[in-house]
Chain A
Amino acid sequence: MKTFLTSALYTLTLTAAVSLQAGELIRQVQQGSGLVWDYHPSAAHGNARSSLPVGAEGSLLTYYSSRGEQQCLSLLDSMAIGTNIPQVTLEIASEDPHFPPRTRADKPFNVYVRQGKTQKPITLVRQGQVYHPKLHAIDETTPSVKSQLGGWKLKAGRLSKGAFYTSLPNSDVTRAEGVETFTAYHKHGEKWQPLKSAQIQVWPVASASFSGMQNGQAITSKKTPKTYVNCQNLYPDSLTFVQIYRGKQKLGRLGAVLTTSVVRFDSSVPQDQKIPLGEWADTLADGTYTLELLTITPFNGKRPERLAAVTVVLDRGMHSPSIVDLSTVKK
């Protein structure tokens, strides 16, 4: 039986919530015979006839892509097709609307799974793979380590929802990164048949530190000391900047933004960034000031989060009224 891939491809595309792109890959694995056929679309849309029969035991279609800065292929979606294949829908979502789904190590994500009205038992399996902290990808040069993170037996005909924090291991839980995969299986005798998979990438919580000045330090030189903010793992979709206000550090204050410090990323992996602060103190009257590094991500209702703060005292004998006085900055 020859079968059009069309419906399956479109189903994958729809599930993926993005259009298929040239250069991506759909692999058809015929269950039973184990034959593998790699379909390379030449355009972003269109029909394709599968050259492999679906087979008596069905076929598994898996959609792979290497988008953005990715060097290697990664799974976007997969589904089983064929007669007598239990129907399952499986979706993962986080506060970040990006596709493929992604979240942060400190932000839970939701998994929605619905089994069709079949009495066939379906088991949902959760697996994880840790990313290399510098590559921000699976280190394909070493044997991949897959952790079995859990399994659930689903009930027919109903929607199950689960909310999870990542279970990817790391000595510092805020720095966990990798990919979690949920796969629905049908157990046929002693044989497990994959039906549907969905993944979510997990990125570490960003961190930052000021260099060139220390908390409580008195700055007596008329020349602004060379100061930087060193940022690690800024979220792929983030806006990061330094704000300054008069007084000691207190969470919840709104200061003036050092506009030259603003860094915007729209990427597929976390970013490291060294931000020079320039002559930030030159126009300030003497007094106590706090500099805070803030980042805005899709999380927390897009409210800024404070990654680092430092309070310093400017004591240079400069009190000219023409110098900007941040006490006028709105709070």
Chain B
Amino acid sequence: MKPLTKTILQALAMAAVFSVPFLFAESNVGEEQLPANMKAPAQSRITADELSKAKLAHKQGFDGAEQTSDLPMAAALSIYDNSTILVHGGNHTVLPPRAVLHLPKKYQGKISTHPVGKYIPWPEFYLANRQWLFTYQVTERQALGQDAINENVTVQFQKMNRLVVSLLENHPVSVAPKRPSE
């Protein structure tokens, strides 16, 4: 084969290989993610100025409702604002506030003011940390602060040296301080 012919054939072969992506793109074949009927872009990314103008021109509010300034204080939106957060091994879980009945000094670091790492549901967190966690089933009256937890039980908590979490029907519950008898 003449060198010139060989060069032309090689060039054609290379062109065929390199043109495959373009040919496929044009016919939307070969790239499954692309929509079947590709449309041309209708707009460019909005700029901050354009968006500010659009927002100014837009009438915000509810039809049939009147604005008021008589509002409650900004509420806690995050569950972490109203929970006891336990952390261990780079993960965290949440408990109702006042659900920790006993906190040994050595485990004070397990309670955090903010979540650390990934959230693990309490049942899994407990199973993975039973060496330092203990659960205690309280009654509804105890949870409501109408009955005190037996003193013998609290003494046992001191001896076992584990962090104790209160449960009601196997789910964590807050325990109100015992109210004085009326």
- Interface residue ranges, A against B (CB under 8 Å): 22-25, 27, 33-40, 42, 49, 51-53, 62, 64, 66, 70-75, 105-106, 108, 111, 113, 123-125, 127, 129, 138, 140-142, 144, 146-148, 150-155, 158-165, 167, 172-174, 179, 181, 183, 185, 187, 192, 194, 205-207, 239, 241, 243, 251-254, 256-260, 262, 264, 279, 282-283, 292, 294, 296, 300, 302-309, 320, 322-324, 326, 329-330
The answer to whether B97 touches A257 (Cβ under 8 A) is no
B52 within 8 A of A: yes
CA distance A158 to B63 in the complex (A): 10
The answer to whether A322 touches B144 (Cβ under 8 A) is no
Which residues of B sit under 8 angstroms from A173, Cβ to Cβ?
A: 48, 51-52, 55
User: How near does chain A come to B35, taking the closest CB pair, in angstroms?
Assistant: 7
CA distance A147 to B75 in the complex (A): 10
The answer to whether A51 touches B171 (Cβ under 8 A) is yes
CA distance A130 to B18 in the complex (A): 47
With an 8 Å Cβ cutoff, the count of chain B residues facing the other chain is: 79
CA distance A305 to B41 in the complex (A): 5
**Given A125-B72, A165-B55, A262-B33: A294 and B41 interface contact (C-beta under 8 Å):** yes
Known: A24-B121, A129-B77, A259-B25. 13 other contacts (CB 8 A): A34-B176, A36-B82, A51-B169, A111-B62, A125-B71, A146-B75, A154-B62, A162-B65, A173-B48, A173-B51, A320-B11, A324-B19, A329-B26
**Given A27-B96, A72-B80: A160 and B65 interface contact (C-beta under 8 Å):** yes
- Interface residue ranges, B against A (CB under 8 Å): 11-12, 15, 18-19, 21-22, 24-26, 28, 30-31, 33-35, 38-48, 51-52, 54-55, 58, 60-72, 74-82, 94-99, 114-115, 117-119, 121-124, 140, 143-144, 168-169, 171-174, 176
The answer to whether A239 touches B75 (Cβ under 8 A) is no
Closest 8 CB pairs of A and B: A36-B96, A257-B25, A192-B72, A51-B169, A283-B18, A162-B62, A152-B65, A146-B74
Closest to A139 in B: B114
**Given A173-B52, A258-B25: A40 and B171 interface contact (C-beta under 8 Å):** yes
The answer to whether B172 touches A37 (Cβ under 8 A) is yes
Which residues of B sit under 8 angstroms from A308, Cβ to Cβ?
A: 45
Closest to B60 in A: A164
Which residues of A sit under 8 angstroms from B115, Cβ to Cβ?
A: 71-72, 140
**Given A73-B79, A320-B11: A264 and B60 interface contact (C-beta under 8 Å):** no
Closest to B13 in A: A322
**Contact check: which of A146, A164, A257 meets B38 at CB < 8 Å?**
A257
The answer to whether A257 touches B58 (Cβ under 8 A) is no
Which residues of A sit under 8 angstroms from B75, Cβ to Cβ?
A: 125, 127, 146, 183, 194
Closest to A36 in B: B96
